[in-house]
A and B are shown apart, each in its own frame.
Chain A
């Protein structure tokens, strides 16, 4: 029989439109293939700096998200009781006038009564600007319940964090140490990097209670007990110090290890830096023995410096580091058991770090000049790269643990050197160069400055004259002074409790607070529907913007339906969270590759419209007319300061188009579209490492518009702002914490990293740790109802280690009751051997509520799926003092999701996973019974 003829060169599509993915926080470049004006196929953009052509499962499934039956179709006004899901469709004019009717009187009388919080927002420099113009202090995005410990520890310590702002040097690292869950931000770059390490034969060590995902391909797996990473890290530091395996030259030149500290416990300045008249921290110049400012040209800071001045002994930070970490308290033998490890395991890891950092050091022949004017002929690298994210961050000791990790990296000389960790522009940027928090509301006026920032001491807290919190989430208070991303997980709880005050309108964007984005989800649903003695809702008005029929929609009074990511303009801005890579600054756009076929509008354009109707500064012109037609107009024409706008590419200069600084360009978005949706500005080769200290980098950053002036700085092993708070905790200074928080502040805001056990229930009653993670195919993706992706992960059993399965006589498919100090859930179980023996876990956010996401009520997500959130409270169990103690890190307010402790009992199978909730009335109805599409050309 003749072989059939196959058309091996079919037409692929009519056209490729290049935009930016929004299926998670990674922001890859995508080629959207169009057929007959419709989206037909999505693949990665090979030219794009983030993904270089590859694309994850989420990205390829974007077509299903774009066409999802759960898409909202028109503005909605609630007609049934809150939480029922009963709505009527209204016009945009009605919707916007309703919102203005609530927001305008508030602004004129008490702007703080608007709480505006955004979830998976990729336009925070814009939404924050809007909130500042409105004048409420109550704005933040979801960082507070995500990874703010990591961000804050990184910024205060080294002027940059992991997240998508720092990257392992995949081309030079020989040992890669990965802590905890880190599969969210930078997901494709990390997968590409792991592939590159494997190709190069580098070693990967995973430290994680669960051996899945990246840990499954790690050469060595360290199945640590949750919450003890800090103990392990400080023990590694102990071993390395004791063996002298630290980079002395790097520490002396580029860190505050040689900076002198007041060492007199009786002095009011005890623990603060010795400073000169200009306020600059002082070091001893080793050759001359003289006291000098840290940045004096030619100074050779002495690591072991000490001096007696005005009767007070001052010693270098290095003295304190030696005193603290050489102590046997940090020896592997003293900590291993608590970590669930053996002392040998810790010794072996420390020795491996020492071997690779110093015996396998690498050298690049790239001359460079440092900020003190010294020229270096070579770049020396310690090829140990480390990465971490939520796994260590989401504990109440996460800030200090992340700090410990950065101190470890710095002691090895493995930050901003070849083979280590590298920053991506606009980082590095020290904490002092960031704004400080602003929270002073004045009726009818903009806020007195940007909401979020990095406090330098008690004077920067957001407290009124009586010490009462100015913000609804109690950010920047003594409960959590360095809460740089706010505490979104406390907003509804505090607003419901009227603590510190009552609010009028809760305005949320893309944040599923009535379900998987809240701690204590069942409690939050009650708070959102609770009424006062008059029968009015305790939280009077709720406005919500989402593209999909999420659980939160049912709890709002007014719905502003957003577009899908293929129907909208966006900018992924250098003012915010750009798509830079270590060798380049880069930003990008989204643009409507198709127009919406429903009565929906991009949220940012709606916000500009609302702003104009409210007459907000910057959103109306001199005549009071709207200044911007829509978000695209804002992206091109808004200037944050002269020459600097949301997009850095294709701006106008005297000599034509330019990247970086320049005047607005009315055709800027067209230029981005022609350029593939992004703009890249390459960093010169001599400027690619040692960025905080490298003159060539600093000059390039000023020229590009990242900074206004060169700002070299040294890494802060010892964080003086922490000491300023700690000092107040000790009762010193003018601004003091309330009595009940002093001991906590004095203990936990230690300027050198410490470890303490999180306070998460009595281990005798709750012996097991319980964790969640998102599958790679869904991480940070908005709604797992995606018909392709839910076939990969439509069930989420509770995974138990073999020991616990045996101890409780459980088999796969049996059911167990999981009880925390806060409540219980009843769920199906399955065995997993590659697991810490005291830890159980499940996939997060697979469980969905009946009626949400256009799923049918018998979908497994709604019958067997469950959330761990129900047994994680936003407050710690009452301590008998009548106070509400937030379940958060006491430094940053990061939600301590992973501190959860539970006990397990086998139980008979219920009809459905418990607890169950009433079915929501769906504003969109369920999806179709079959998908069989092929896009016609």
Chain B
């Protein structure tokens, strides 16, 4: 059993905009590239050119269809990585203390030298956000790019997680969700950001911005109708209308 800190100085995390995510997987691969070269063991790939390729990813995008009652079906792209929970069950379940939550920023990390690859944390995580690397036998997870966000070898504007830096649609935001005045907290407040599976009681730090209402045009038909009020029914009347209108200009 490993203890969680009672509080953390900051609550760093991601805000992911489901209204804007086009499902392009840019974040997935940028994450794979950075984390293969950086924190801990590389993210390996088994059978990479064969029948059942299976590699370690710290971030994946899933797609779900939603079928509203009276509107066309929708497709939601849903990126998912570690949510850096305040009550992280993956930490408390760890038998060696390898999994821990940092007191200064709340990032949940795995200390790979202490990890025995037992997989209990992955079992305890309700989000399926941890993956055991098959080559190294250690647990891998999102580090919130702890080796980027403070990295003095990077220009200041690049001190952000790789997935956020690369996201073409700007659907991913990084910041301190413990500070109500931060840009990310403001975004969550403005857009009604939500916790993923709050009933699990994990108090995730990462938030999701829900998709805005879609396909609402039927409610606007009456409002829009006046914009198509005819000026003429046939060509002759239409050309006369042009002449009349041009005279007024």
Measured CB to CB, the residues of A under 8 A from B are: 1, 3-4, 6-12, 33, 35, 40-44, 46, 51, 53-61, 63, 69, 187-188, 191-192, 194-196, 198-199, 211-221, 223, 239, 241-245, 248-249, 252, 286, 302-304, 318-319, 322-323, 326, 344-345, 347-352, 354-355, 359, 776-777, 785, 787-792, 794, 832-835, 854-856, 858-860, 863, 926-935
Contacts and interface: CB of A to CB of B under 8 A. Distances in A.
B92 interface: no
Interface string B96-119: 010010110000010100100000
Given A244-B231, A788-B55, A860-B51, A196 B170 contact: yes
B224 interface: yes
A60 B32 contact: yes
Given A54-B166, A928-B48, A322 B147 contact: no
A286 B150 CA distance: 68
B168 A188 contact: yes
Given A9-B152, A243-B230, A326-B234, A219 B239 contact: no
A322 B235 contact: yes
B217 A345 contact: yes
B240 to A, nearest CB: 8
B50 A43 contact: no
Given A351-B227, A856-B50, 17 more contacts: A6-B39, A9-B152, A11-B153, A42-B33, A59-B26, A195-B171, A198-B19, A211-B75, A220-B215, A242-B230, A252-B246, A322-B239, A348-B220, A349-B217, A776-B23, A856-B47, A933-B42
A304 B227 contact: no
A859 B49 contact: yes
Contact of B48 (A191, A349, A352, A931): A931
A57 B232 contact: no
B168 to A, nearest CB: 4
A-B CB proximity, top 10 nearest: A927-B49, A351-B224, A191-B168, A833-B73, A787-B48, A244-B231, A195-B170, A195-B169, A834-B73, A8-B150
Contacts of A198: 17, 19-20, 169
A191 B169 contact: yes
A254 to B, nearest CB: 15
Nearest to A218: B214
Nearest to B104: A3
Contacts of A12: 151, 153-154
B72 A243 contact: no
Contacts of A248: 242, 245-246, 249
Contacts of B169: 191-192, 194-195, 198, 217
A57 B170 contact: no
B70 interface: no
Contacts of A854: 49
Contact of A934 (B42, B77, B146, B224): B42
B199 interface: no
A67 to B, nearest CB: 11
A191 B67 contact: no
A44 B221 CA distance: 44
B28 interface: yes
A199 B170 contact: yes
A929 B231 CA distance: 71
A215 B73 CA distance: 12
Contacts of A223: 72
B127 interface: no
Contacts of A216: 22-23, 74-77
B14 to A, nearest CB: 16
Contacts of A41: 33-34, 37
A789 B168 CA distance: 17
A8 B76 contact: no
A832 B65 contact: yes
Chain B binding site: helix, strand, loop or mixed by DSSP? loop
A856 B49 contact: yes
Contacts of A215: 75
Contacts of B231: 242-244
A57 B26 contact: yes
B21 interface: yes
B162 interface: yes
A322 B238 contact: yes
Nearest to A778: B25
Contacts of B214: 218-221
A881 B229 CA distance: 51
Nearest to A930: B46
B45 A787 contact: yes
15 contacts: A6-B146, A8-B150, A195-B169, A215-B75, A219-B216, A244-B232, A248-B246, A252-B246, A302-B246, A304-B246, A344-B218, A347-B228, A354-B228, A928-B49, A930-B135
B74 A213 contact: no
B168 A192 contact: yes
Interface of B: 2-3, 17, 19-26, 28-30, 32-34, 36-39, 41-42, 44-55, 57, 65, 67, 72-77, 97, 100, 102-103, 109, 111, 114, 135-136, 146-147, 149-154, 157-158, 162, 165-171, 211-212, 214-218, 220-221, 224-225, 227-235, 238-239, 241-243, 245-246, 249
B65 A63 contact: no
A873 B249 CA distance: 55
A791 B53 contact: yes
A444 B168 CA distance: 51
Contacts of A326: 232-235, 238
Contacts of A347: 221, 224-225, 228
Contacts of B233: 242, 326
Contacts of A349: 217
A249 to B, nearest CB: 7
Contact of A55 (B47, B166, B217): B166
A56 B168 contact: yes
B57 to A, nearest CB: 8
Contacts of A858: 50-51
B242 A304 contact: yes
Nearest to B53: A791
Contacts of B228: 239, 242-243, 245, 347, 350-351, 354
A906 to B, nearest CB: 22
A934 B36 contact: yes
Contacts of B65: 832-834
Contacts of A359: 227
Contact of A69 (B29, B49, B157): B49
Given A8-B150, A348-B221, A933-B36, A54 B26 contact: yes
The listed residue with most B CB atoms (<10 A of its CB), out of A249, A930, A932, is A932
A628 to B, nearest CB: 36
A777 B74 contact: no
B53 A787 contact: yes
A8 B146 contact: yes
Given A304-B242, A322-B235, A213 B72 contact: no
Contacts of A788: 29, 32, 45, 55
Nearest to A246: B242
A526 to B, nearest CB: 29
Contacts of B211: 217
A318 B151 contact: no
Contacts of B227: 243, 245, 351-352, 354-355, 359
A323 B232 CA distance: 12
A323 B236 CA distance: 9
B217 A220 contact: yes
A252 B217 CA distance: 33
Given A12-B151, A241-B238, A859-B51, A3 B246 contact: no
Contacts of A42: 33
A52 to B, nearest CB: 10
A243 B166 contact: no
A159 to B, nearest CB: 25
